[in-house]
């Protein structure tokens, strides 16, 4: 098989779909890997590191003409005509927001797979892109908050007196939230966390954080994801969180519901009750935000509280993010390629739910 890795063209995207160690394994397995010149440069993987493991450094048209094209983000609609009929495309395609792209891919005869639709099963765990990239996002969110806060994280005993540790509150204890907890704890903060899924309490406490409980609130959906709360439950959560937020220096929100806008958890009134100088990092900014004051890609100051809505936060640590993403794609290829050929079965419980276009048609949502 000819596998192509193009340069990511979305502004600010520094990750690359495949890294040299993965390419080496694919070449050893008999595949030809075509890497567009400069594809890994922004993730600290120069062209020579790909050439050294057997990749062919090529131009963009050649790469996009491969049998399988692997990307981090979705292609531009005007690039779709560069794909061959029957090409397999895999990447973070945002199918719920990219109807025009899906139509174009279907018309071109591309079999497209959205990596964010990997089923939450044990079998597919090693290609769970959302989890791997959320690990990076949770880590970076804490660093971003620490660099913005007007306090130090750890308790310090100095000749000028003792400085108390920062208080950090994590909303949502999924992969990003748990990584944020662990990172904030390593930096010396006092950490607490909340999640609508009581089952995560043990995980939160195992990392040395306090779990904020709200009586009679439990909302776990399929695949271990959270689901939306009812109005009464939302009111109880708001009451408890309002009081807790008043003491916090940093709040990191990570709550998201697959395929739907992020739940609104922090209101303007709740933010106004926080201390001046506090920092909110909203990791759900791109899907609507957990805070009603969040603005995508911007910093908002409300009553002295700084609210950050970062985008593409995993790209901040492009080298390690790419390493994990590449391993996810390697597993995807293991599922897809059998005996040297693409073996696409839409009834397959792993690949089927990920396929968004195939056979000239859009199959997402069908």
Residue that finishes a domain, picked among 275, 293, 311: 311
Q: Mean pLDDT in runs of 10 for the chain (366 residues)?
A: 97 97 97 98 98 98 97 92 96 92 96 94 91 96 97 93 96 96 98 91 96 71 55 79 95 86 93 97 95 96 97 96 98 92 89 94 86
Q: Are residues 290 and 330 in the same domain?
A: no
Q: Are residues 323 and 303 in the same domain?
A: no
Among 126, 186, 225, 236, the active-site one is: 225
Residue 137 lies in a domain: no
Residue 82 lies in a domain: yes
Q: Are residues 301 and 334 in the same domain?
A: no
Among 84, 125, 206, 232, the active-site one is: 125
120 catalytically annotated: yes
Distance CA 193, CA 209 (A): 7
Q: Are residues 179 and 265 in the same domain?
A: yes
Distance CA 118, CA 50 (A): 27
Q: Are residues 333 and 205 in the same domain?
A: no
Q: Name the residue range of residue 247's domain.
A: 149-311
Residue 82 burial (CB count, 10 A): 18
Residue 144 lies in a domain: no
What pLDDT is stored for residue 196 in this prediction?
85
Among 71, 131, 132, 322, the active-site one is: 131
260 catalytically annotated: no
225 catalytically annotated: yes
Residue 62 lies in a domain: yes
Q: Are residues 153 and 296 in the same domain?
A: yes
What pLDDT is stored for residue 309 in this prediction?
97
Residue that finishes a domain, picked among 276, 292, 311: 311
Among 120, 186, 275, 295, the active-site one is: 120
What pLDDT is stored for residue 93 in this prediction?
95
Residue 142 lies in a domain: no
Q: Are residues 278 and 307 in the same domain?
A: yes
295 catalytically annotated: no
What pLDDT is stored for residue 230 in this prediction?
63
In the chain, the number of structural domains is 2
Distance CA 169, CA 16 (A): 32
* Three-state secondary structure string covering the chain: CEEEECCCCCCCCCCCCCCHHHHHHHHHCCCEEEEECCCCHHHCCCHHHHHCCCCEEECHHHHHCCCEEEEEECCCHHHHHHCCCCCEEEEECCHHHCHHHHHHHHHHCCEEEEHHHCCCCCCCHHHCHHHHHHHHHHHHHHHHHHHHCCCCCCCEEECCEEECCCEEEEECCCHHHHHHHHHHHHCCCEEEEECCCHHHHHHHHHCCCEECCCCCCCCECHHHCECCCCHHHHHHHHHHHHHHHCCCCEEEECCCCCCCCCCCCECHHHHHCCCCCCEEEECCHHHCCCECCCCCCCEEEECCEEEECCCCHHHHHHHHHHHHHHHHHHHHHHHHEECCEECCCCCCCCCHHHEEEECCEECCCC
Q: Are residues 117 and 156 in the same domain?
A: no
Among 128, 195, 249, 282, the active-site one is: 128
Residue 120 lies in a domain: yes
Q: Are residues 87 and 179 in the same domain?
A: no
Q: Are residues 214 and 289 in the same domain?
A: yes
Q: Are residues 93 and 238 in the same domain?
A: no
Task: Look up the CATH number of the domain holding residue 29.
Answer: 3.40.50.720
Q: Are residues 92 and 36 in the same domain?
A: yes
């Amino acid at each position: 098989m000819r596998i192509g890795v193009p340069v990511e063209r979305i502004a600010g995207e520094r990750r690359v779909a495949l890294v040299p160690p993965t390419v080496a394994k694919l070449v050893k397995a008999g595949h030809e890997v075509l890497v567009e010149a400069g594809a890994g440069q922004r993730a600290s993987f120069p062209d020579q590191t790909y050439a050294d493991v057997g990749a062919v450094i090529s131009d963009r048209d050649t790469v996009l003409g491969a049998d399988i094209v692997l990307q981090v983000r979705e292609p531009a609609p005007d690039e779709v005509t560069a794909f061959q009929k029957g090409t397999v495309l895999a990447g973070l395609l945002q199918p719920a927001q990219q109807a025009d792209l899906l139509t174009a891919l279907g018309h071109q005869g591309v079999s497209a797979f959205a990596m964010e639709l990997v089923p939450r099963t044990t079998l597919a765990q090693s290609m769970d892109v959302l989890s791997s990239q959320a690990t990076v996002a949770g880590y970076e969110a804490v660093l971003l908050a620490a660099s913005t806060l007007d306090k130090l994280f750890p308790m310090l005993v100095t000749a000028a007196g003792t400085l108390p540790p920062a208080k950090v509150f994590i909303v949502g204890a999924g992969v990003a939230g748990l990584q944020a907890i662990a990172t904030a704890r390593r930096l010396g903060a006092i950490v607490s966390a909340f999640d609508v899924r009581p089952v995560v309490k043990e995980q939160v406490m195992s990392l040395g954080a306090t779990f904020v409980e709200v009586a009679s609130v439990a909302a776990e959906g399929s695949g271990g994801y959270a689901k939306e709360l009812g109005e009464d439950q939302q009111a109880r959560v708001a009451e408890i969180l309002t009081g807790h937020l008043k003491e916090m220096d940093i709040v990191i929100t990570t709550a998201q519901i697959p395929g739907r806008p992020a739940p609104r958890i922090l209101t303007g009134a709740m933010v106004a009750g926080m201390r001046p100088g506090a920092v909110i990092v909203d990791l759900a900014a791109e899907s609507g935000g957990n805070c009603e004051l969040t603005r995508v890609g911007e910093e908002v100051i409300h009553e002295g509280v700084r609210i950050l809505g970062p985008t593409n936060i995993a790209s901040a640590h492009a080298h390690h993010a790419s390493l994990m993403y590449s391993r996810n794609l390697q597993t995807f290829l293991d599922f897809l390629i059998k005996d040297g050929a693409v073996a696409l079965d839409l009834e397959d419980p792993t690949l089927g739910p990920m396929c968004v276009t195939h056979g000239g048609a859009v199959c997402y949502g069908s």
